[in-house]
Chains A and B, each alone.
Chain A
Amino acid sequence: MSHELTIEPLGRTIQVEEGQTILDASLRAGIHLPHACGQGYCATCKISVTDGEVDHGNASNFALMDYEREEGRALACCATLLADTTIEADVEADADARDIPVRDVSGTVTRIENLTPSIKGVWIELDANTPLEFQAGQYINFHFAPEVGQRAFSPANAPGAPLLELHVRLVPGGRGTQWIHQELKAGDRVQLSGPYGRFFVRKSAHLPSIFMAGGSGLSGPRSMILDLLAEGSLLPIVLVHGARNASELYYREDFEELARQHANFTYVPVLSDEPPDSGWKGRRQFVHEAAREHFAGDFRGHKAYLCGPPLMIEACIATLMQGRLFERDIYTEKFFSAADAQQVRSPLFKRV
């Protein structure tokens, strides 16, 4: 039986499955709790249980003393829930997080359009009784038939727009995206839930923004940029959008028009695999190379938001860091999968 876990001081509540550790559930929900050994020896993941009940599992008697157990301490990497529980962990509340509660919503598809040969735009009108609040950059889950489950998509529209706009890339062999590309049609009813994720603009920092997007990873950044411009932000905003070739680059005219209207917005489209004789006059590079050139290798004094395929994200993080922008100023949309949890990673970085 699953239980609810509330994590203070974030105030966020997540579901924890039977037998699942607090650490595992938190990481999968995108909440980074400090941890190191993952097997109850080192005490890096020590938390306070302020309400509810936990089973301490294999926590070492040296890492978690008897008196600490009596005082309500636990090791997140070993502890499982015996009841709905509230913990206090060594995590910092994010001034820009609105912590909008997740809700289930439904709606009707009004339009489906080919944005590129591999990306479809899906517009959804949500039912009047279930509006969806979200922070630009957050994602929603799209519910399919039970055997397919759910998939995450970031709305590409600014919050508050009348229609929800999703960009869906056909993933080879992907059952969910294949269904959207081949079966879904205007007039169909859809079930969604959200918002999720910690990918949103850190407006409180009052710093210029760099958006680095690859392919359909444009959707979240588009929402964030539209939101910033609609609010009248005058801070510099640069969007570097990468696609394989000209046919896969979409919304180019829209962004060029935005750049004409807003002096603080700069649009940098870039193609990585465009034939040399195609007549494309823009950059033939990867996103990170174009960004390095555009900023002359110095990213200091910015906040960077990255959304795209893992290889692009990794290359962009290295480029940003070598251009003196570090983890505290870099944000990525990251989904922790079972495969990620098993991958050997060092504890050098927490979020990126």
Chain B
Amino acid sequence: MTTAPPKKLSLKERYTLMTRDLAWDTTYQPMSKVYPQVGYEGIKIHDWNRWEDPFRLTMDAYWKYQAEKERKLYAILDAFNQNNGHLTVTDARYINVLKLYLGSTPPLELMAARGFTNMGRQMVGAGPRVACLMQAVDEYRHFQTQIHSVSNYNKYYNGLDEFAHQQSRMWYLSDGKSFFDDAITAGPFEFMVAIGFAFEYVLTNILFVPFISGAAYNGDLAAMTVGFSAQSDEARHMTLGLECIKFLLEQDPDNLPIVQRWIDKWTWRGTRKLGAVGMMMDYMLPKRIMSFKEAWEIYFEQNGSALFNDLARYGIKVPACFSQTVVEKEHVSHQSWIGFYMKSRAMSFHTWVPGPEELDWLSEKYPNTFDRFYRPTLEHWDKMEKQGKRFVNNTQPMNCQCCLNTIKYNEPDDPMSTCFRESVYKGEKFHFCSDHCKAIFDHEPEKYVQAYISSHQALQGNCAPEGVDVTANDFDPARYMNDFWRLDPRATGDFNGSDDQKNFAAWRAQATTN
């Protein structure tokens, strides 16, 4: 008797045996008690088996693959550090990109790791649980590798050492913190739409372009490698977010309006988060890649439109904010930079007026707005600085109660006036930067009244050390802020005349002359 050799398992069969086949339905306790969070957002799921695993990676292969990535990454980081790689970057101004990006992002990666760990617990289907577990480990890895890549710079440059303390206190880090706090305290499906879809799919390229390409263009092999290593995980994250949206929309028609609201909300929240990224691209990278406007057109308008065209088949409409972002792409990076420039005493990175060639580049990239609205301000400030009167704004900023950005953006139809919105909730007035942020607040006011706004905390006396009488008539809230933030004075102020500028020049001279 002859027996046929057993047929080789297909990738799908192998994956099924190693994941879904290892799960079981509970019998001692009802499944609804074991997975208590999946119901309360109003999302209806009828059949978890309809979840299609967007990638078929088993845990054993995952460990092996990620371990190899780590070995490779740390070999490159070590070589970079040993060879004084920090002196190969284009210009010491570049290091301020790292201070801002790598000062704000690792804690957010950690929040993403926590969020996906919770998703891995809450999702009922075994497929999404495994995918969320992997993404949680990925996010934790990104958190660690980013800190490791910046730690070498921390030995030489100011302002990199207190990011963990500053994350929950510093005014300009609160927009990112608020984004992830909002997501992680939402229900599981909203979290998946917020992070898996809006962040990982719609917006991630605009984050990666300035970071990875910016690092590559500016000679930072370490940050570039960290970026590539992280990006090799991103495709998995994007497909998870997309599959989640499809699954929600296909499971029940009642899910459509809920998902639509989340897409509207998180596309806008993500857009606001990217204002500072635009500023990195247009102002902070000494060697530029492309303008923020160009990046927005390629990655958001073109690719985003392609996605929303496809989602239209399900009845999803283009997010309400889409047209406003198209108008704002010509303004946000300039308004962000101007906003940061004047708060230079309250930040742990430096700002500066771009050089004449850089101003010309901005004029060329922003023919409709730069010369008309922004160049005159920057040239005026340049003159003031040369007269020894560097412009500084010492007042407390006003923040949007929803996105936590300082209120500095213009009315959508009028570049010359600032956009203010307000809502009254339980007799108290709350302020917003835009119609979209106001709408998000109005839908869930109880959530957003809790926002931590640094300037409010200062005025309420919550940032002064113990023993200070914060009710005294002469109480000066600003006096205690730098200590509260643990702000290194060497890291503040203009780049011109900074320690970083002098040290970099001296070290580079040592490395290149006798």
A residues with a Cβ closer than 8 A to B are 9, 34, 36-37, 41-44, 60-63, 65-68, 88-90, 92-93, 317-318, 321-322, 324, 326, 344-349
Query: Across the two chains, which residue of chain B brings its CB closest to A93?
Result: B10
Give 1 or 0 for each of B234-245: 1 = CB within 8 Å of chain A CB. Answer: 111011001001
- CA–CA, A34 and B53, complex, Å: 12
When the two chains form their complex, are residues B232 and A346 in contact, meaning their CB atoms are under 8 A apart?
no
Chain A residues contacting B234 (CB-CB under 8 Å) are 42
Given A41-B231, A62-B69, A317-B313, 9 new contacts (CB under 8 A): A34-B55, A44-B55, A44-B239, A62-B232, A318-B312, A326-B250, A344-B305, A346-B307, A348-B307
When the two chains form their complex, are residues A324 and B253 in contact, meaning their CB atoms are under 8 A apart?
yes
When the two chains form their complex, are residues A63 and B56 in contact, meaning their CB atoms are under 8 A apart?
no
Q: Does B302 contact A (CB under 8 A)?
A: yes
The 7 closest A-B pairs by CB, nearest first: A42-B235, A346-B307, A62-B232, A348-B310, A318-B313, A321-B313, A344-B306
Query: Across the two chains, which residue of chain A brings its CB closest to B76?
Result: A61
Chain A residues contacting B72 (CB-CB under 8 Å) are 61-62, 65
- CA–CA, A92 and B55, complex, Å: 13
When the two chains form their complex, are residues B250 and A346 in contact, meaning their CB atoms are under 8 A apart?
no
Chain B residues contacting A89 (CB-CB under 8 Å) are 11
Q: Does B186 contact A (CB under 8 A)?
A: no
Also in contact, A42 and B311, with CB within 8 A (given A36-B239, A345-B306, A346-B306): no
Chain A residues contacting B55 (CB-CB under 8 Å) are 34, 44
Query: Across the two chains, which residue of chain A brings its CB closest to B243?
Result: A348
When the two chains form their complex, are residues A348 and B246 in contact, meaning their CB atoms are under 8 A apart?
yes
Dominant secondary structure at the B interface: helix
When the two chains form their complex, are residues B232 and A41 in contact, meaning their CB atoms are under 8 A apart?
yes
When the two chains form their complex, are residues A42 and B231 in contact, meaning their CB atoms are under 8 A apart?
yes
Query: Across the two chains, which residue of chain A brings its CB closest to B315?
Result: A322
Chain A residues contacting B12 (CB-CB under 8 Å) are 90, 92
Chain A residues contacting B307 (CB-CB under 8 Å) are 346, 348
Task: Give chain B interface residues in 264-303, CB to chain A under 8 Å.
Answer: 302-303
Chain A residues contacting B153 (CB-CB under 8 Å) are none
For B242, B302, B310, B314, the residue with the greatest tally of chain A CB atoms inside 10 Å of its CB is: B310
When the two chains form their complex, are residues A344 and B242 in contact, meaning their CB atoms are under 8 A apart?
no
- CA–CA, A215 and B42, complex, Å: 44
- CA–CA, A41 and B204, complex, Å: 14
Chain A residues contacting B302 (CB-CB under 8 Å) are 344
Query: Can you list 14 A-B contacts with CB-CB less than 8 angstroms, sorted by A residue number?
Result: A36-B239, A37-B235, A41-B235, A42-B231, A60-B232, A62-B69, A62-B231, A65-B72, A92-B10, A317-B313, A321-B314, A322-B313, A346-B242, A346-B306
Also in contact, A88 and B11, with CB within 8 A (given A44-B239, A345-B306, A346-B310): yes
Chain A residues contacting B236 (CB-CB under 8 Å) are 44
Query: Across the two chains, which residue of chain B brings its CB closest to A325?
Result: B250
- CA–CA, A75 and B268, complex, Å: 35
- CA–CA, A344 and B298, complex, Å: 10
- CA–CA, A62 and B232, complex, Å: 6
Chain B residues contacting A345 (CB-CB under 8 Å) are 306, 310
When the two chains form their complex, are residues B310 and A42 in contact, meaning their CB atoms are under 8 A apart?
no
Among the listed B65, B228, B246, B313, which residue makes an inter-chain contact with A65, where contact means beta carbons less than 8 Å apart? B65
Give 1 or 0 for each of B51-84: 1 = CB within 8 Å of chain A CB. Answer: 0000110000000010011001100000000000
- CA–CA, A42 and B228, complex, Å: 9
For B56, B312, B313, the residue with the greatest tally of chain A CB atoms inside 10 Å of its CB is: B313
- CA–CA, A68 and B57, complex, Å: 14
- CA–CA, A24 and B372, complex, Å: 47
- CA–CA, A242 and B272, complex, Å: 47
Query: Across the two chains, which residue of chain B brings its CB closest to A44?
Result: B235
- CA–CA, A66 and B242, complex, Å: 30
Chain A residues contacting B250 (CB-CB under 8 Å) are 324, 326
- CA–CA, A162 and B324, complex, Å: 62
- CA–CA, A9 and B231, complex, Å: 29
Query: Across the two chains, which residue of chain A brings its CB closest to B234?
Result: A42
Also in contact, A90 and B235, with CB within 8 A (given A61-B72, A65-B69, A344-B302): no
- CA–CA, A336 and B137, complex, Å: 38
- CA–CA, A12 and B347, complex, Å: 61
**Least CB distance, B80 to chain A, in whole angstroms:** 15
- CA–CA, A67 and B72, complex, Å: 12
Chain B residues contacting A349 (CB-CB under 8 Å) are 310, 313
When the two chains form their complex, are residues A346 and B312 in contact, meaning their CB atoms are under 8 A apart?
no
- CA–CA, A287 and B476, complex, Å: 72
When the two chains form their complex, are residues B306 and A41 in contact, meaning their CB atoms are under 8 A apart?
no
When the two chains form their complex, are residues A322 and B314 in contact, meaning their CB atoms are under 8 A apart?
yes
- CA–CA, A93 and B11, complex, Å: 11
Chain A residues contacting B303 (CB-CB under 8 Å) are 344, 346
When the two chains form their complex, are residues A348 and B242 in contact, meaning their CB atoms are under 8 A apart?
yes
Chain A residues contacting B305 (CB-CB under 8 Å) are 344
**Least CB distance, A18 to chain B, in whole angstroms:** 28
- CA–CA, A43 and B236, complex, Å: 9
Q: Does B229 contact A (CB under 8 A)?
A: yes
When the two chains form their complex, are residues A63 and B242 in contact, meaning their CB atoms are under 8 A apart?
no
Query: Across the two chains, which residue of chain B brings its CB closest to A65?
Result: B68
Chain B residues contacting A348 (CB-CB under 8 Å) are 242, 245-246, 307, 310-311
Query: Across the two chains, which residue of chain A brings its CB closest to B65?
Result: A65
When the two chains form their complex, are residues B314 and A63 in contact, meaning their CB atoms are under 8 A apart?
no
When the two chains form their complex, are residues B312 and A9 in contact, meaning their CB atoms are under 8 A apart?
no
For A63, A345, A346, the residue with the greatest tally of chain B CB atoms inside 10 Å of its CB is: A346
- CA–CA, A90 and B9, complex, Å: 12
**Least CB distance, A1 to chain B, in whole angstroms:** 30
Task: Give chain B interface residues in 211-242, CB to chain A under 8 Å.
Answer: 228-229, 231-232, 234-236, 238-239, 242
**Least CB distance, A295 to chain B, in whole angstroms:** 15
- CA–CA, A42 and B246, complex, Å: 21
- CA–CA, A346 and B242, complex, Å: 10
Query: Across the two chains, which residue of chain A brings its CB closest to B298?
Result: A344
When the two chains form their complex, are residues B239 and A347 in contact, meaning their CB atoms are under 8 A apart?
yes
Query: Across the two chains, which residue of chain B brings its CB closest to A350?
Result: B52
Among the listed A36, A90, A326, which residue makes an inter-chain contact with B238, where contact means beta carbons less than 8 Å apart? A36
When the two chains form their complex, are residues B235 and A43 in contact, meaning their CB atoms are under 8 A apart?
yes
When the two chains form their complex, are residues A60 and B228 in contact, meaning their CB atoms are under 8 A apart?
yes
Among the listed B11, B69, B232, B309, which residue makes an inter-chain contact with A42, where contact means beta carbons less than 8 Å apart? B232
Chain B residues contacting A93 (CB-CB under 8 Å) are 10
Chain A residues contacting B309 (CB-CB under 8 Å) are 346
- CA–CA, A68 and B211, complex, Å: 27
- CA–CA, A318 and B73, complex, Å: 45
For A68, A345, A348, the residue with the greatest tally of chain B CB atoms inside 10 Å of its CB is: A348
- CA–CA, A22 and B69, complex, Å: 25
